[in-house]
Structure 1
Amino acid sequence: MTQRNIGDEIIQGLEGALQYLDGNPKGTVAHTVQVPATVDVKSIRERSGLSQDKFAARYGFAVSALRDWEQGRRSPDRTARFLLTVIAKNPRAVEEALAD
């Protein structure tokens, strides 16, 4: 069994997207992404075992935004909900994609 390389898969997907935008859809696959209307930010963070400060730093969120989301003062926008959903399902994929 070969090991998946998420970085190569991301690059391949981006190259396909560029081909599609250039009017060459041959060989590209279009996917529909369903982003949940709400996410339980506190639960996702707590499952990670990270403090608010460490979670925010690891995934690129402002600590103040994370606190507001967890305390119900604000809701994450669509992009943040998308990222939080991926973190909840496969945090390693996000960490690998964001690694230096």
Structure 2
Amino acid sequence: MDKTLFDDLVQSLKEAKAITNGQAQPSRRIVLEAEDVRQVREHTGLSQQDFARLMRVSVKTLQNWEQHRRTPTGPAAALLKIVATAPEVAIRSLHGPAKVI
């Protein structure tokens, strides 16, 4: 490994440690606003049961999100953002084409 690159990596690790220990401030911080789950659901026109099914979570989990006792994280938060941005596309994509039996 190039000595300059190695020195840069070591310096970055030292800075990260200082930030983690509260001895330095990060150069920038990104804060993402959480979607209002109830507002997103109401915008779709779906009941709690149908929206929970769409999100692949239990109704109880959805209720906890709507009442701000819990916050969606990871894939659920990403899916919620997609539903908030393009509800028709998300619903159509998640339901898939109708199957004829």
TM-score (norm 1): 0.57
Q: Does 1:41 align with 2:41?
A: no
Aligned to 1:58: 54
Classify 1:64/1:35 alpha carbon distance in 2 versus 1 (closer, same or farther; 3 Å). farther
Q: Which runs of 5+ in 2 are unaligned?
A: 1-29
In the comparison of the two structures, how many residue pairs are matched? 67
RMSD: 2.2
Deviation at 1:61, TM superposition (A): 2.1
For the Cα contact (< 8 Å) 1:35–1:81, is it kept in 2? Answer: no
The residue type paired with residue 53 of structure 2 is A
Larger C-alpha radius of gyration, 1 or 2? 2
Q: Which runs of 5+ in 1 are unaligned?
A: 1-33
Tell me which of the two structures has the higher relative contact order, counting C-alpha pairs closer than 8 angstroms and 6 or more residues apart.
1
Counterpart among 73, 78, 81 of residue 74 in structure 2 = 78
What is the distance in 1 between the residues matched to 2:87 and 2:77? 14
Deviation at 1:54, TM superposition (A): 1.2
The residue type paired with residue 76 of structure 1 is P
Point out the more displaced range, 74-83 or 55-64: 55-64
What is the distance in 2 between the residues matched to 1:35 and 1:97? 29
